[in-house]
Amino acid sequence: MLKSSNALSPRRTRRGASSAGAPRALLAALVVAAATPAVALGQQIAAAPAGGIRYVSGADPSASLKIARGPAAGQKGEWRLPALDYANSRYSELDRINRDNVSQLQVVGTASTGIAKGHEGQPLVVGSTMYVVTPFPNYLIAYDIAKPGFPMKWKFEPHPDPIAVGKACCDVVNRGASYSDGLIVYNTLDANVVAVREDGSLAWSTRVGNVASGETLTMAPLIANGVVITGNSGAELGVRGWVKGLDLKTGRVLWTGYNSGPDKETLMDGASFHPFYQKDQGKDLGVSSWSPDQWQLGGGTVWGWISYDPTENLIYYGTGNPGVWNADQRPGENKWSISIIARNPQTGEARWAYQIVPHDAWDYDEIMENVLVDMPWQGRMRKLLVHPGRTGFVFVLDRVTGELLSAEKFYPQANWASGYDLKTGYPNIDPAKRTHEGQTTYDICPSSTGAKEVFPSAVSPRTGLMYIPAHDFCMQYKGMQANYIEGTPYLGADVLMRPGAGDNRGTLVAWDIANQKIAWRIEEHWPILSGVLTTASDLVFYGVTDGWFKAADATNGKVLWQFKTGSGIIANPITFSGPEGRQFVAVYAGIGGWVGANVFASISADDPTAALGTTGAAADLKKVTAPGDTLYVFALPDKH
């Protein structure tokens, strides 16, 4: 049993190999299967059909939201993928920690990574081992959860190129790893993808980008049917966005799909590519929707989350802002920035694309999570994709066709657009809020940080609710002429942000998907920039930038437990089972990232335009929190 409040302290370090030709492991890692807890009352688990896919649903499977869950998610009690499953649900079937006993949660282990930078992402748990990926220099650390104190098993050091630190837009964060077939796969900041064996030795390493030109990698790759899917960061440096598929066994790049440029390069030239809306149909729109050659600096990077539907054999992802931020410098709809795209993971061939914001003028990246659910919609069961956007809207699409079925505000203050035309797919933009070169547009809500950031939502099949971590910043925005110099910032805007109206800069929004409205909210004084976790015992976990980690009743939002960590939380909580089926909850506390960078000594609280404009809204974070580097693990006392 875990008894040490200083648990997880490193005991030994083994350095990983640094070349693709590293020898295979001589000893296999010890794997202790986690005990399988009972299914929560009222929860239904459908029998697994061919292919091993089963569906997790509410009490009435015919009338409730369903989440597909397959072998890639591992055993109950493991956490093998960034969001637990391909659906990006962040919903755990564990229920030993429940509404009656969650108030007794206590710290049973901590570990310091030694890197006081932004800790985004989440650990993985495979068998008896927890895997932690750190911010730059991107160590991979393995801990043995089957032993008292969770001792360190090994640490892999990839030695990324330090030039990447100066190229990263918004801190040197990393959003985690994926596990499959004995390999832990993750990205390093200097645009490499690495695969590490369970004994800590390097299986392969593949360079997929040019860090000198501004390409970095911060997102968590997803492994779909033997293919590693990854995307780049760097739109603020004029990088051209892409996704790539790599062979899991060898690391060989199988395909590259760009998010701007001719159809041949965007892989939108196949017979199966059928966008639903006329606005997204036509030849070489990735070129013709830009001013000449601007598409080559077009942004549209992929630094968020990827989903996968194995029944349709499609991956889904969102793209980031177009380059440059000055919209007048790039007339046209600027495809395929600010879009959701569906592709075949084996070939990269696009099936459909939907551009959420044509000709973006606010930096409204839509790299957010696309949560895949099956549920009744307007009288019939449909395969849906639910996307809570930076724009302040929750988008519901048919994930087979790309049709927009709903777009309603989870952030009522959003004023850049009044709504969406479901017949055309276009937003109804307020012309007074569109930004232009040489003039300042005031009181735009939300700000460029969005009504929510990259930090992911969770969904519960028991409640039918999506839990969205939101924040309330507004801004003034002035477009400016920008010149491109490779590898340097390419912004073209002067942005000043401020808190929205009222005293609450953070809100956990419980969104009723079926009824397209807010069910309840938890308001916080400080921004919520963490991910969310839900469980089969109707609990929802989230963190706040002032360092509080909280658990609430998923049915009504009543906060049932909270713990003050040593730093602001911008990470995503997970839950897992250890020996004897004991349930744990884990989260990093280490503030950083775009907004969180305001706590760093290098950011002046006296300059409201610092940190790409966020200081005007979050300078006072310095007064309540500080940089950190700690993994916290919680559990009920041993008697439970």
- Active site positions, annotated: 236, 321, 363
β-strand partners of 377: 380
Structure tokens at 401: 């066709």
Query: Could you tell me which of 404, 236, 429, 268 has the C-alpha nearest to residue 344?
Result: 268
Q: Are 157 and 16 in contact (CB under 8 A)?
A: yes
How far is it, in rounded angstroms, from Cα 203 to Cα 25?
A: 9
How many CB atoms sit inside 10 A of residue 523's CB?
16
Name residue 474's amino acid: C
Q: Give the dihedral of Cα atoms 550, 555, 558, 559; nearest 10 deg.
A: -10
CA dist 267 → 225, 356, 358, 402, 510 (Å): 19, 20, 20, 17, 37
Structure tokens at 193: 């993808």
How far is it, in rounded angstroms, from Cα 214 to Cα 169?
A: 9
CA dist 158 → 17, 105, 168, 187, 205 (Å): 8, 35, 18, 10, 9
Name residue 370's amino acid: N
How far is it, in rounded angstroms, from Cα 221 to Cα 51?
A: 23
Query: Could you tell me which of 258, 257, 344, 348 has the C-alpha nearest to residue 295?
Result: 258
β-strand partners of 383: 374
For residue 396, which phi and psi values (nearest 5 degrees)? -115, 120
Query: Could you tell me which of 48, 78, 138 has the C-alpha nearest to residue 584?
Result: 78
Structure tokens at 236: 């603020």
Name residue 219's amino acid: M
CA dist 316 → 91, 281, 412, 443 (Å): 19, 18, 27, 33
With tokens 């099949």, the residue in question is: 461
β-strand partners of 469: 508
